[in-house]
Amino acid sequence: MDRRMFVKGFTFGWMGRRGEYREPYAVDSLKKLKDTGCASIAFAFDTPQDTVLSTRVYFDYEMSPTDKDICFIIDKAHEMGMEVCLKPVINPRDGLWRAYIDFPDGADHYWKAWFASYRAYMRHYAEIAEETGCEMYCIGCEMVGTQRKTAYWREVIDVVRGVYHGIVTYNANHGNEDGIDWLGDLDLIGISGYYPVGRQTDGSVEGLMANWQKVKEKLYGIHKRFGPNIYFAEIGCRSAKGCLDMPWDGATELPYDEDEQAKFYLTALKAFWDEPWFSGYHWWDWSHKLYSIDEAKTDRSFGIYGKKAEAILREWYSKEVK
């Protein structure tokens, strides 16, 4: 991948509901994100299947955003000079993580039915990505239980490439990145970079950097094996004490601590920025319903608006990439 395509990005609008992206507050939030120096958004929205054992992905227009909603925010981002990665994500309505979507290897009927539905789902949004000029398209997020089905996933990629001509990526979860045989079919390998870099350290920048070095060695090995560059399709850390040890956590009740979040940002940027095989970040996540600046010192979400991590991101996103 051309280094000029380095992603200075953020995820925007997760869990937006029908009509919300066309509200003034969503446009205002997008403008505030642009002001950080962000040059790219991963526009992530969820669509459902009923349970992790269902074989049909469907379009729930009572809750999920409509095509009109999606095209609106893509156009707004482009008007502001930002690139867009369109990222439709399955959210099972039974509350279980999408990684648990799985069937026994011998249950061919179920696999064929699920992947037929998934290909149609991916094609639909790939057509929107093409028509709206999205620079990137993500064909799946953390679909751990299905990833061993290499032939089926290659069919998904072929269907997407038949209608979409931009950069095709996939968002693999951290921890099983090296067990996906079809990563070389992508243009860019996306990783959820929620690595627990605070563990077995004193929480210092030096300790975190030592743990990021181990992550770098692993990800470089994946790049060497498959060829495409690596980027963090998701990465982030809440402004809450203890999240350096579990940056993926979004629910545990923990006291506010913006310093931990700031150190996570600083070290993740410093560790990877100049690596020629690494192509950037779509941080998690910037809400389309942004909290007020007065709430920044009590907000314990992944958001960085008004926090120390925002200042760090502004500084790094103002830098040139070698």
**Rounded mean pLDDT, 150-161:** 98
Which CA distances in Å does 112 have to 97, 123, 160, 183, 296? 21, 16, 17, 21, 47
Instruction: Say if residue 287's pLDDT is above 90.
Output: yes
pLDDT at residue 94, as a whole number: 94
CA distance 76 to 81: 9
Q: Residues 6 or more apart from 2 whose CB is under 8 A from it? A: none
pLDDT tens track for 88-140: 999 999 999 999 999 999 999 999 999 999 999 999 999 999 999 999 999 99
**Rounded mean pLDDT, 79-91:** 97
pTM over the 0.85 mark: yes
For residue 223, the Cα-to-chain-centroid distance in whole angstroms is: 19
Instruction: Say if residue 57's pLDDT is above 80.
Output: yes
pLDDT at residue 170, as a whole number: 98
CA distance 27 to 180: 37
- Mean residue pLDDT across the chain: 96
CA distance 136 to 123: 14
**Rounded mean pLDDT, 200-211:** 95
Q: Which CATH superfamily is domain 3-317 in?
A: Glycosidases (3.20.20.80)
Task: Let me know how many helices (H) and strands (E) the chain has, helices first.
Answer: 7, 8
Instruction: Say if residue 3's pLDDT is above 90.
Output: no
Domain locations in the chain as residue ranges: 3-317
**DSSP 3-state percent helix, strand, coil across the chain (nearest 5):** 40, 20, 40
Which two structure tokens, joined as six digits, stand for 246? Answer: 């579990």
Residue type for position 279: S
Phi, psi of 151 (to 5 degrees): -60, -40
Residue type for position 242: G
pLDDT at residue 322, as a whole number: 79
The total number of residues shown for the chain amounts to 322
Q: What percent of the chain has pLDDT over 90?
A: 94
For residue 287, the Cα-to-chain-centroid distance in whole angstroms is: 13
Q: Let me know: does 92 contact 98? Beta carbons within 8 Å.
A: yes
Instruction: Say if residue 2's pLDDT is above 60.
Output: no
- At 1, is the pLDDT very low, low, confident or very high (cuts 50, 70, 90)? very low
Q: Let me know: does 12 contact 288? Beta carbons within 8 Å.
A: yes
Q: Residues 6 or more apart from 290 whose CB is under 8 A from it? A: 25, 28, 29, 32, 303, 305
- At 59, is the pLDDT very low, low, confident or very high (cuts 50, 70, 90)? confident
Q: Let me know: does 64 contact 45? Beta carbons within 8 Å.
A: yes
pLDDT at residue 178, as a whole number: 83
Residue 257 exposed, middle or buried by CB count within 10 Å (0-12, 13-18, 19+):
middle
